[in-house]
Amino acid sequence: MKLAMMAVLVLAAALRLQHIDFGLPALNDPDELMFEMGAIRMLRTGTLNPGWFGHPATTTMYVLALVDVLVFGAGYVTGHFASPAAFADAVFADPTLIILPGRIAMAGFGVLCVWLTMRLASELLDGKAALGAGLVLAVSPLAVTWAQVIRSDIMATSFLLACLIATALFAREASKSRFVWATVWLALAIATKWPFTLGALAMVAVLLDRWRKDEATLRESLAGLAVFGALTIALLLLISPYLVLDHETLWRNLQGEAQAHHLGATGGPPWQNLAWYGQGPVLTGLGLAGSLLAIWGLWLIARLGMAARVLLPVLLGFIVVLAAQRLVWDRWALPLLPLMAIAIGAATSWITNRAAARGSWAQRLAPAAVLAGVALPLAAASLDRTAARAQDTRQAASAWALANIPPGSTVLIEQFAFDLQGAPWRILFPMGDAGCVDAKAMLAGKIDYATIESARGSRAIVDYGTLAPERAGSCAADYAIIAQYDRYAAESDRFRDEMRMYQTLLQKGQERIVLRPQENAPRSGPVVRIISF
């Protein structure tokens, strides 16, 4: 069993590392740069204040800062960087230096999630369930995709799983050390992403169950809950003290995160959100066979005492919160995947135990057949996704531009196209109230997140559509590489102002090429239009 689990971890690592350098040096997910800017800010100022607390993602930026220090240290020792200033120059010329190591760190947390899922399943169920759960999570396309980018979700999920393991150990045999470790992991999860406060529901269920079983009085159970909450808050502030010390930034960031709608992610009534998650990220993450097995497995878990108390309150809590949100994002379903993978493991274990009655050959073949039926399609989907991600429309647009746009041109872009930084053009980037700014000059000045935030204002996205209309004149260019127009066009009723901005721009020019994602070929990304004026 241990050898099989090691093989699962190797498989998880291989899938998460494949094409992990996608897009680089360009950044197809602009939030990666935002997280790195928080890390760089801490290194520049010598404080633990990242200057942004939207997720809050404090631990994510701590990890990135550590990774950046290690990269600089390795470069300094080997003579690649003579000083921190030289390192900064190299980073702004090619962010691959820090983005790729940061992604690898996130992939490491993704593999850690697989191991923790198996560990939790072993504690609550048995080794067969653990192996099944780990295999499903290892090959899940959703889990693989989000372990390849710098974001807070995978880290938060790993801390949540560690908290649930400590809670399960406490439920089995109460001790102060296990109680404290549960608060430590929960505080780390919250410092990474606010909604992971829901991890506390497992301890709530465990403490109340002790009262139900007369293992503790009601007063003792309620006191335990109070201590658990107070200790978690204290540890949270110890981990991220600037949540209080820089509370004005915290409040401003939280207001920025509280959006009523977002391009490509606006939700609806709770039932509609639930349907979206069920038909979208959950089905993508587990497959049809896996989703059906998970439903059955949850029914089996509901009949088990400790497993039900540790898993179901947290799972239901996340489902309720996801349903109630005004936005929907597939990455928000990530904390559901390990819990539902454990449910699949429970169903697999049940099948294995029933097959044992039919002989040893059936006991060996039944779980293998079930897991193969679930895992093989998921693994194939993960491979397809990573291959498509490595052939993005935005990089295809950059290649066309480099081959066809003449030197001396002024080019308007909407993506973080660091792959165009060496092109012999003046490059303009739309930045909210600031209008279109000279991207090369901005990078040469080592821009920080505070500057971007000031120009961004309350905008969820910075692109030509959200540009201050009175600043449109600052965007005069010979060419424009437009990556957001078609996304707005799909929701034109909701984004009328943004559509007017794009339509006015497009009417002035001539479309040179349109690059689209392809379903039957490995190419993903948005529709990109290159316009000449």
For residues 397 and 384, state if they share a domain: no
Query: Higher model confidence: residue 352 or residue 69?
Result: 69
For residues 223 and 349, state if they share a domain: yes
HSE, CB side, 13 Å, CA atoms: give it for residue 258. 6
Round the average pLDDT of the chain to a whole number and report it.
92
Residues spanned by the domain of 32 = 2-20+27-63+99-247+266-389
For residues 218 and 365, state if they share a domain: yes
Cβ 76 vs Cβ 97: under 8 Å: no
d(CA 6, CA 469): 56
For residues 369 and 298, state if they share a domain: yes
HSE, CB side, 13 Å, CA atoms: give it for residue 473. 1
Token digits of residue 328: 């929907």
For residues 207 and 310, state if they share a domain: yes
d(CA 161, CA 181): 12
Angle formed by the axes of helices 360-389 and 283-302, to 10°?
Answer: 150
pLDDT in tens, 420-477: 999 999 999 999 888 999 998 887 766 666 666 666 666 778 899 999 889 999 999 9
For residues 292 and 370, state if they share a domain: yes
Query: Higher model confidence: residue 351 or residue 324?
Result: 324
CA distances from 201 to 167, 207, 208, 308 (A): 10, 10, 11, 12
123 inside domain: yes
Radius of gyration, alpha carbons of the chain: 25
437 inside domain: yes
> Which DSSP string corresponds to 73-140?
HHHHHTTS-SSHHHHHHHHHH-THHHHHHHHHHHHHHHHHHHHHHHHHHHHHS-HHHHHHHHHHHHH-
Domain boundary among the residues 372, 389, 406 is at 389
For residues 337 and 193, state if they share a domain: yes
187 inside domain: yes
The four Cα atoms 24, 29, 30, 34 give a dihedral, to 10 degrees, of: -90
259 inside domain: no
pTM of the model: 0.94
User: Does pLDDT of 92 surpass 80?
Assistant: yes
Can you tell me whether residue 428 is helix, strand or coil?
Answer: strand
Number of domains making up the chain: 2
User: Does pLDDT of 363 surpass 90?
Assistant: no
Position 454: which residue type? S
143 inside domain: yes
Domain boundary among the residues 360, 389, 418 is at 389
256 inside domain: no
Look up tokens 């909604």; give the residue.
195
pLDDT in tens, 33-66: 889 988 888 888 888 888 889 899 999 999 999 9
For residues 412 and 371, state if they share a domain: no
Cβ 192 vs Cβ 152: under 8 Å: yes
d(CA 243, CA 233): 11
For residues 327 and 399, state if they share a domain: no
For residues 367 and 431, state if they share a domain: no
Token digits of residue 257: 């995160």
- How many residues appear in the chain? 533
What are the helix (H) ranges across 140-217? 141-146, 153-172, 176-192, 200-212
Give φ, ψ of 511 to 5 degrees.
Answer: -75, 125
CATH number of the domain bearing residue 508: 3.40.50
Using the 8-state DSSP alphabet, how is residue 527 labeled? -
471 inside domain: yes
Query: Residue 140: how many CB atoms within 10 A of its CB?
Result: 33
For residues 385 and 399, state if they share a domain: no
86 inside domain: no
For residues 501 and 424, state if they share a domain: yes
Domain boundary among the residues 389, 415, 440 is at 389
Provide the pLDDT for residue 414: 94
Token digits of residue 45: 């100022």
